Structure 1
Amino acid sequence: MKPVVIVGDVVLDRDLDGQAERLSPDAPVPVVDAVEEHTRPGGAGLAALLAADDGPDVVLVTPLGADRVSRTLRDLLAPRVRVVALPLSESPAEKTRVRAGGHPLVRIDRTAPGAVGEPGREVEAVLADAGAVLVSDYGRGTAAQPRMRELLADAARRVPLVWDPHPRGADPVPRARLICPNLTEALAWCDRRDDDLDAVTRSAEEILRRYRADGVVVTMGERGALLSHGSGAPQIFPAERVTGRDTCGAGDRFAATAARLLARGALPSEAVEAAVAAAAAFVERGAASALSQTPAPRPVRDPVAAVREAGGTVVATGGCFDVLHAGHVATLRAARALGDCLVVCLNSDASVRRAKGPDRPVNPAADRAAVLNALECVDAVEVFEEDTPEEILRRLRPDVWVKGGDYTVDRLPEASVVASWGGRTVVLPYLPGRSTTRILAHRS
């Protein structure tokens, strides 16, 4: 699976947790006793860890140096996230919360501004290979670096890009799939004070036009989220009522979930609905503070890794799947029956146009992937840009490659690729009389 790439500013978060049962004799302030220290990555680092909860393929691009704070952050992130560092002239920011009985008393910030260096070839390669990009902007310069902005603008033209903004951060690059400010940020961005749905809707539409985004989703805490695409009525996604009081990191949980699902081909509405539910569950569990008090949860494996770990059989198939019909479904079900998981290698829109002509595809890749993902027999969908699937097959290395249609194995160029690691190729016939071309011809 192609990685989810998080780009942004990492922070070292520290919670000092204790009990306050008396006041200090020298000032009317509480004395916090029995203090325990809990440390974790914050900012873009927290977003990366949360993305890693949903799958192991996460890369964090962030400024780090050779100082104590940078070394601590590397050690905290290394078990679960691949870190690609940008040059940093100063130490990353530190944020310390002092809490008594779970209630915050004071926060101490160390935010010495440092110059962020230019991204090198490793960053360029990581972004070129991304399945989706999440910009977790915490206002410390990563998203404002000129060369980084060029790379992010290029990524937004190729893959889903989610921009999680900051009041002191950079403007989003054009063509973001989603910009996801919280309620306060959205209203301040548009110089509005009312927080009724009409004001939120107008703010979302203004942000969408200003930055030429595909969609803007405003997160509204316990009121859920509002998604606008600029035309028609906005969609409202209510949130489950929760008892948790600490919301630290809820926005990161929301953005990480949305980016992960968009990478898998989900529609923005599907990604937002799931992200609202994930953020509510995150707050209910204790939010970010709970992450530093318990061992890090084991990342959820992607289907291919899970099947391989269990010694099972990975099956892959491929095609355009432009207008899904009964022949497709029969082949997919038969393919899934040959193993323990089925990955569909899906031609990108450009790949379909080269193969089928300028009027195809009828449905864009995101929609085709969403329909395939909804089938019980499909475990994962991978979009590829090339004319043939050899490159993606080399990365997936399935045990069985299934092709539907009137082929023979010796006529399939990818058969030799699959055989190179001991895999086998199987041809399954389509149901007679079913084809996308015939369906479209009858409609015309």
Structure 2
Amino acid sequence: MRIVVVGDVMLDVDLSGEATRLSPDAPVPVVDISGVRRRAGGAGLVARMLAQDGWPVTLVTVLGDDDAGSQLRTHLAGVQLVAGTSGYPSPVKTRVRAGSHPVVRFDQGCERTPIPDVSPAMLRAVEEAGVVIVADYGRGLAANPQLRGLLGRLAGSVPIVWDPHPSGPEPVPGVAVVTPNISEATKAVQAAGNVPTSVEGVAQVLLERWRSQAVLVTKGEEGAVLLQQGDASSRAVPAPRVEAGDPCGAGDRLAAGLAVHLLAGRDLPEAAALAVHDAADFLAAGGVSALPDTQGQDADPDHQRGAPGRGRRTTEPLLLARSVRENGGKVVATGGCFDLIHAGHIRSLAAARELGDCLIVCLNSDDSVRRLKGPQRPIIGQHDRAELLLAMECVDAVMVFDEDTPEAALDRLRPDLWVKGGDYKGARLPEADLVERWGGRCLTVPFHPARSTTGLADALAKVS
């Protein structure tokens, strides 16, 4: 169940401030620095994102024996680190920003170095992976013959997401998906001399050359194009429109999302669609500038072990359910529209959570609510409803479904217990036959009269 990130790490330094004048020495802006942030970049950023979301993640990399390498270890708190010694200075990339606009970047120690060695511990960590992300940043680790041989052997049984770099090696054959951006993809086919004019054509050339199971070419705000082996044509993967000043880290967020969704058992088209939205949400929330500062923090032991239940706050329900079951826990699910959350909801959810080791809420989508309750509903959109539910300590994950009933979602989730409010008491739940098919049970928890969404909506209408 562990996600293993393999790749090159660098120290990213952000100097931010305001530029209100030009230098008297040259026509260049003077930036008055008001903030300095340091963080792990490259493969380290991918691992940090996953750890921040609560996934058990191991980072396999090499680090320099210098001050930057020491800082990187500090900024990788919360990540299980299996690191060899590079024998060279750790790369440092310093970005200067005026407001939200990049002004200049300084690179130190970023020149090409010989292919680093890998230790037995690094190889063992990769062998234990439930899914692998190769975050290649052109520093040579992805070119190590021993590591490539191991990844090639794992490709048939473990999903591998390969995020390539123009200065790095080609992916090993058989990986689940390679994720170049449009610039990287175009450069990769230029050596052949005949560059296709369409993104679909570029993806086809790379799919044949790399012999991967799929290629996902990302196009920034235009989304991505997915081409799989055996498909007659590619699939467009649209991206939601977001206002984002700095796209740094979007590719890393997409690779992390792909790994999580593939590990949860989703097929690649669905995983790609969700990962594109993950990347858009990441940028909309502020991108790398919004990531919490990890300096001085201790690793969260629950994150290290991948403990189920209260130690993990995640919105990925399928992977959470699988993790809880594999740790011997009991998965509890409930469902509903939760249009206006009231005290009755909170009491029922808390009671349901006490019945097992995690609680997953199956939430009707906006379209589903409209079909069930009329065109004026929902009052609150599905994203806000999911966020409100996840803010409760008793809710561990939310699974949004579009159908009129939760049966399709339940069939994928397969909880040990399906729980509904006590207004069903004395009647067999509609989902009982389905849940009992895999050995689950249906239960009711106490119902709290005079507390309902309809009653609350009517009361609000009278004062609006």
- Work out whether 1:375 is the aligned partner of 2:412: yes
Q: CA deviation at 1:315?
A: 7.2
How far residue 245 of structure 1 moved from its aligned partner, in angstroms, is: 1.5
Which SS does the other structure have where 1:157 is aligned? coil
1:160 pairs with 2:162: no
- 1:305 matches 2:308: yes
CA distance in 2, matches of 1:309, 1:267: 24
SS at match of 2:275: helix
Q: Deviations over 1:184-243 (max 9, x none)?
A: 1112212299999x6111111111111111111001111101100142221111111111
What SS does the corresponding residue of 2:65 show, helix, strand or coil? coil
Query: Take 1:40 and 1:373, find their aligned partners in 2: how far apart are those partners?
Result: 40
8 Å contact 1:90–1:113 — kept in the other structure? Answer: no
Corresponding residue for residue 275 of structure 2:
275
**1:78-157 correspondence runs (5 A):** 78=77, 80-110=78-108, 111-157=110-156
5+ unaligned residues in a row in structure 1: which ranges? 319-335, 344-370, 380-401, 406-426, 430-444
Answer yes or no: is the 8 Å Cα contact 2:115–2:143 preserved in 1: no
1:308-327 map, 5 Å = 316=325
Distance 1:26 1:185 in 2: 37
Cα distance in 1 for residues equivalent to 2:410 and 2:158: 18
Looking at structure 1, the residues matched to 410 and 247 of structure 2 have their Cα atoms a distance apart, in angstroms, of: 31
Aligned amino acid, residue 277 of structure 1: H
TM-score, L = length of structure 1: 0.68
* Aligned pairs for 1:340-359 within 5 A: 340-341=357-358
1:294 Cα deviation from its structure 2 partner: 9.1
Instruction: State the alpha-carbon separation in 1 of the partners of residues 137 and 246 from structure 2.
Output: 19
Alpha carbons of 1:94 and 1:34: their partners in 2 closer, same or farther (altered >3 Å)?
closer
Partner of 2:424: none
Alignment check: 8 A CA contact 2:60 2:122 kept: yes
Rounded Cα–Cα distance in structure 2 between residues aligned with 1:97 and 1:342: 42
Residue 253 of structure 1: how far off its partner (Å): 0.3
Give 1:116 deviation, angstroms: 4.3
Is the 8 Å Cα contact of residues 116 and 140 (structure 2) preserved in structure 1? no
- TM-score by length of structure 2 reads 0.65
**Paired residue for 2:24?**
25
Q: In the aligned structure 2, how far is the partner of 1:150 from the partner of 1:85?
A: 19
Cross-structure match for 2:173: 174
Give 5+ residue unaligned stretches, structure 2.
Answer: 314-320, 328-352, 361-407, 417-434, 442-464
Per-residue deviation, 1:86: 2.1
Determine helix, strand or coil for the equivalent of 1:22.
strand
| Cα deviation code 1:17-44 (max 9, x no counterpart) | 0111111111111111143111111111
Residues 58 and 80 in structure 2, CA contact (< 8 A), matched pair in contact too = yes
Partner of residue 243, structure 1: 243
Structure 2 vs 1, CA of residues 97 and 373 (structure 1 numbering), >3 Å: closer, same or farther?
farther
Q: CA RMSD in A?
A: 3.5
Find the aligned partners of 2:237 and 2:41 in 1 and give their Cα distance.
27
Aligned partners of 1:18 and 1:35 also within 8 Å: yes
Q: Percent same amino acid among aligned pairs?
A: 42
Contact 1:162 1:255 in 2 (8 A): yes
| In 1: Cα distance, 2:104 partner to 2:312 partner | 46
C-alpha displacement at 1:282, in angstroms?
A: 1.0
Q: Number of matched residues?
A: 336
